[in-house]
Amino acid sequence: MENIPSPIIVQDFITESGASYPSLPLSFTLSGLPLHSAPIVLVNHALTGNAQVTGENGWWNDLIGDEKTIDTHRYTVLAFDVPGNGNNSFIVDNYLDFTTRDIARIFIKGLEALNITQLHTIIGGSVGGGIAWEILALEPNITQNLIPIATDWKSTDWMIANCYLQEQILNNSSKPIEDARIHAMLCYRSPESFKEKFQRTINNDLSIFNIESWLAHHGKKLQKRYQLSSYKLMNQLLKTIDITRNSYDFETLLSKTNAAIHIIGINSDLFFTSKENRETYNELKKFKQNVFYSEIDSVHGHDAFLIEYKQLDHLLADIFKAETIEK
């Protein structure tokens, strides 16, 4: 089902900040139809994710697979690992070397190495969606569709503030991954989600509130499977999304693309707010026709893009199912 080829080696890469990397391994997975035999969908993973988007350990199995929304009988699905995300032995020692745009540039080099000049869709949630925006800004003709979910084209002050706090915890805590994860879960969910789930109930065995034991559990769980260097890097990427930094303004950049842009917000997202998403949509509508905004209705906050599969399926159906797919 899922094919994990040898990594692409990106050579002599210089980051925006001027850091030099003689060779960067770019791991990726391919699933669905053979490469160059069908339309290609590029899927970008979020903070603790990886290129395993479907198959046994796939984090987006509800969305991608045989007869699913992104049907692997009809598409080729490609996903890259952000170098340093912990999915292989490569480690980024200095996370400050990288911005989201650097990762977009590395992914574009990956596409070139695979001889891909045209994508059907680039889709990603959270920081993966930020990387998607950056790819489109760099290569306006690379894709027919951009689907940024629970994200935006820039990190807001609120996002930067939360990433700054994450960075402080990651650099200063005696249990950095656990403590940072506990804080992050407050941003990934919402007050209503916690109320619905816990109802102020108490864990009698531990004599603490169930919300506390749940947060502690998530902290420990991530600590077991995730590297500190990866967390620092991915947090840095979340903080540095901005297609206009040291570049052209928003309208100049996005006037260059003919791609349809389908923005999907979440009405309870505390991280990338729906208000911010609607502002982006309204700005785009001033100079671009094929722009669409839709919203997941959920109490679950930012994480709803990983939870509300039925709604996501409904919102994406027209893009992936209704159109005639050209071979």
Q: Where would I find the beta strands (DSSP E) of the chain?
A: 2-3, 8-14, 20-26, 28-32, 40-44, 64-65, 70-71, 76-80, 119-125, 143-149, 202-203, 208-209, 260-266, 291-296
Global confidence as pTM:
0.96
The CATH number of the domain holding residue 82 is 3.40.50.1820
CA 154, CA 108: separation in Å to the nearest integer? 19
Which pLDDT does position 1 carry in this prediction?
A: 59
SS3 36: coil
Of 114, 98, 79, 78, give the one whose Cα is nearest residue 24.
98
Domain presence at residue 292: yes
Instruction: Tell which phi-psi region holds residue 165, choosing left (phi > 0), alpha (psi between -120 and 50) or beta.
Output: alpha
Which pLDDT does position 327 carry in this prediction?
A: 37
Residue that is last in its domain, among 178, 210, 237 = 237
What residues does 226 pair with on adjacent strands?
A: none
Range(s) of the domain holding residue 215: 158-237
Domain count, the chain: 2
Q: pLDDT truncated to tens, each residue of the chain (327 aa)?
A: 567 899 999 999 999 999 999 999 999 999 999 999 999 999 999 999 999 999 888 999 999 999 999 999 999 999 999 999 999 889 999 999 999 999 999 999 999 999 999 999 999 999 999 999 999 999 999 999 999 999 999 999 999 999 999 999 999 999 999 999 999 999 999 999 999 999 999 999 999 999 999 999 999 999 999 999 999 999 999 999 999 999 999 999 999 999 999 999 999 999 999 999 999 999 999 999 999 999 999 999 999 999 999 999 999 998 998 554 443
Which pLDDT does position 322 carry in this prediction?
A: 56
| 121 and 225 share one domain | no
CB 28 within 8 A of CB 81: yes
Of 236, 245, 188, give the one whose Cα is nearest residue 215.
188
Cα distances (Å, whole numbers) of residue 156 to 58, 283, 314: 30, 16, 29
Q: Where would I find the beta strands (DSSP E) of 126-259?
A: 143-149, 202-203, 208-209
Instruction: Tell which phi-psi region holds residue 200, choosing left (phi > 0), alpha (psi between -120 and 50) or beta.
Output: left
Strands 208-209 and 202-203: antiparallel
| 43 and 144 share one domain | yes
| 113 and 28 share one domain | yes
The CATH number of the domain holding residue 175 is 1.10.1740.110
Alpha-helix runs per DSSP H in 242-308: 250-254, 274-285, 304-307
Residue that is last in its domain, among 237, 268, 299 = 237
| 72 and 96 share one domain | yes
| 139 and 101 share one domain | yes
| 18 and 150 share one domain | yes
Phi, psi (5° rounding) for residue 90? -70, 130
CA 141, CA 81: separation in Å to the nearest integer? 23
